[in-house]
Every structure is written in C-alpha cells, then in structure tokens.
Amino acid sequence: MSGLVSGLQQDHLSELIRGQDLPLPALDPSHVELILELIQLAYEGIKADYPGAVFAGDEKHLNSLMVDRLNHLVGDDPVASLLVRAVSRGTETKNYDASRFEMRPDIQISLTSRQHLFPLIVECKLIDISKGKTVDRYCKDGLARFTTGDYAWTNREAMLLAYVRDGASTTSHLQPFLAASMALSPPEYAVVSLPQKCAASLPDAVRSDHGRYFSYVHGAQNGKLPGDIAVWHLWVS
C-alpha cells in the first residue's frame, strides 16, 4: 500500500509542476511592495467599516473580509489589475512532497505573471500577547510553514500578515525574536537575514530571509534545493 501511496503522491507532483523549473523566478520587489500597499489599504478600509471585526473578530472572519476587499480594490485599480488576477481564501493545496493534502493557506494571490497554480501565499496571524497570540506562535504556526515546505515551496517569496491588537511592532517583537532564533545553532526558522524595513510608505513592513529545510523530490527536480525564501511581514493595527 505504501508503494501505491508514494506513486500517487508522485503523480500529483508531476501534474502540478508540469513544465516548471523550480523554484520559480523571484517576483520584482516593487511588485511585492505594491501588493503590501494593497493589503494595508484593504485593512484600513475594513477597520473603518467593520471596527467590531477588527478589534474582536477571529482570523477567519478578518481573512474573509480581507479577501473580498482586496478583490474589490484590484477590480477598481487599473495598475493593480495588471499585477493581480484574483485573491482567494483557503484554496486547497499540498506540501512539497505531496505527503500532506488539503492544506489551506489563509490567503492566495493569483498573479497575472504566473499560472494560478502558483499564487503568492499570505499567512495571517493575530498578535495579542495577553491572549496568547504571541510572536512565538506567529513564527511557529506561520513562518515555519515556509521553511519546512508546507506552503510556497515552488516560490522564492511569501507574506505574513499580522493583525496587531496590543501595540506590538516588528521592531519591538519580531526583530528580537528572530535575532534570538538566529543565534541558535542551527538557527531556528533558518534565519539568514533579520527583518529590514521595506515599503517605506507603510507603517510597519519588513523583509527577512530564511533557508528551507527540504529538497524537491520529483523527476528532474529530485534532490534540488529550493534556496532561501524572502518573507515579507506586514503588521497592521
């Protein structure tokens, strides 16, 4: 039975990455920053229109509102629509070796420059220290999905969106946490570079770089390393 399962996993990978050389080419940083700006704008609109959801709603409700607002923004913006095809929530995917099915990233942004099978992944987490929504969980349940090959394993970049409710920032919380992780041997979360400010127009957007703990397992890609992944963090409050 294990041989059959392994064969089926290979079939799924073969069909998914048909004709692709992995990892895919990196996105232009200016395009990533434009998407960050769209997400910030979407959040600000939702905060104005639905303050109850922003201050008390859980992640799934916030994510649903964000996806709908982002699709409206893209549809209304001729420049954004040149870059983004559509935004979706919870679309089923698989990890790098197809050993895990029915995985559902929080937000997937389908880009006009890529097949819709390879979206930009946005994982979303609440930051509310008093209620146990800590930066440790942000990394353990969010960042780690990118270093271990659960999400964005075909890509060179991914995003983490934090809904902050307690005044925390990337400078006060994420930076020291990842610095401590980087000092471990081996570095936890495979930290290659600590968060650096990006998208200067945004209140709290940074980029960190991370190694990845897996290699590709199928066909011509077998044994190939995916290389580092750039993770763009946007913290909104």
Distances (CA, A) of 213 to 56, 115, 143, 191, 226: 36, 25, 13, 11, 9
Q: What is the pLDDT of residue 4?
A: 42
For the chain, percent helix, then strand, then coil, each to nearest 5?
45, 20, 35
Is the Cα torsion angle 213, 231, 56, 108 positive or negative in sign?
negative
Q: What is the pLDDT of residue 219?
A: 76
- Output b/e per residue, 93-131; b: 16+ Cβ within 10 A: bbbbbbeeeeeebbbbbbbeebeeebbbbbbbbbbeeee
pTM here? 0.95
Q: What is the DSSP letter of 171?
A: I
The domain limits of the chain are 24-236
The tally of CA atoms less than 13 A away on the side-chain side of residue 91 is 17
Q: Closest Cα partner for 154 from 9, 25, 19?
A: 25
Which residues, 6+ apart, have CB-to-CB distance to 34 below 8 Å? 79, 80, 83
Q: What is the pLDDT of residue 103?
A: 86
d(CA 151, CA 146): 5
Q: What is the pLDDT of residue 11?
A: 82
Is the Cα torsion angle 174, 119, 146, 94 positive or negative in sign?
positive
What distance lies between CA 168 and its chain's CA centroid?
20
Question: Which residues of the chain, if any, have pLDDT below 70?
Answer: 1-7
Q: What is the pLDDT of residue 1?
A: 34
d(CA 193, CA 210): 7
What distance lies between CA 136 and its chain's CA centroid?
16
